[in-house]
């Protein structure tokens, strides 16, 4: 499986964010997207996820299901947590698992993986910011996808999950200002044009 972007361009708010951007990442690899604030790292991830329309170029995921888009085969973990405050931790994770087409069997394993099992019955609104972040990370485990898109994520627990995802043949594209806890990831440097 390989994700390839060829001559990608993105325009947001009438401003060219990036253009002529090309990259590839294969099964078992991580690609860390670096660069100054404002060069389009988050916009690139949002384009790959299908949340922002590309202004040009071609994005494809070879070796994946042809009937679904690249975004449908990816997990996007951005700055916001997408947790419903009135639902319990388990109910939030159950919703996302069912919505993403996964079974409920993985929910308990996901809660254990991020140390939220003791809080599973607590409404998400009572969680700290760090616990809400871990609830978002639990979606990566509960509903497997071949491609993880991670925007400014850096914590030891996530690094362990990322290593496991790569070892099982998954791919990661991560926007970061610093190390993400992986040994020797490939790097895509972005700059203002």
What range does the domain containing 87 cover? 80-144
pTM equals 0.79
Are residues 153 and 132 located together in one domain of the fold?
A: no
Q: What local confidence, expressed as pLDDT, does residue 156 receive?
A: 67
74 domain residue, yes or no? no
Whether residue 81 is predicted with pLDDT greater than 90 in this model: the reply is no
Answer yes or no: do 59 and 150 share one domain.
yes
84 and 29 within one domain:
no
Q: Which whole number is the average pLDDT over 36-51?
A: 89
Q: What is the predicted pLDDT for the residue at 153? A: 66
- Say whether pLDDT at 193 is over 70: no
The domain that holds 152 is classified in CATH as 3.40.50.300
Asked if residue 192 has pLDDT above 60, the reply is: no
Residue 86 contacts residue 123 (beta carbons within 8 Å): yes
The confidence score (pLDDT) of residue 180 equals: 78
Does the structure show a pLDDT above 70 at 155?
no
Residue 157 pLDDT greater than 80, yes or no? no
Count how many domains the chain has.
2
pLDDT at 79 over 80: no
Q: What is the pLDDT of residue 154?
A: 61
Model confidence band, residue 23 (pLDDT cutoffs 50, 70, 90): very high
- Does 6 map to a domain? yes
pLDDT mean across residues, the chain: 86
């Amino acid at each position: 499986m390989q994700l390839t972007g060829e001559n990608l361009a993105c325009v947001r708010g009438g401003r060219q964010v990036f253009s002529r951007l090309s990259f590839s990442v294969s099964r078992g690899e991580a690609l860390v997207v670096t660069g100054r604030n404002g060069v389009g790292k988050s916009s690139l991830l949002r384009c790959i996820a299908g949340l922002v329309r590309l202004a040009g170029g071609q994005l494809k995921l070879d070796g994946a299901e042809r009937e679904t888009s690249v975004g449908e085969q990816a997990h996007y973990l951005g700055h916001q947590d997408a947790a419903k405050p009135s639902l319990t931790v388990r109910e939030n994770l159950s919703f996302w698992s069912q919505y993403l087409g996964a079974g409920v069997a993985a929910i308990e394993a996901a809660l254990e993986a991020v140390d939220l099992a003791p809080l599973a019955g607590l409404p998400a609104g009572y969680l700290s910011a760090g616990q809400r972040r871990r609830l978002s990370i639990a979606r990566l485990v509960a509903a497997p996808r071949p491609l993880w898109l991670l925007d400014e994520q850096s914590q030891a627990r996530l690094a362990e999950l990322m290593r496991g995802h790569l070892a099982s043949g998954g791919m990661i594209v991560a926007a970061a200002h610093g190390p993400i806890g992986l040994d020797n990831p490939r790097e895509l440097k972005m700059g203002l044009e």
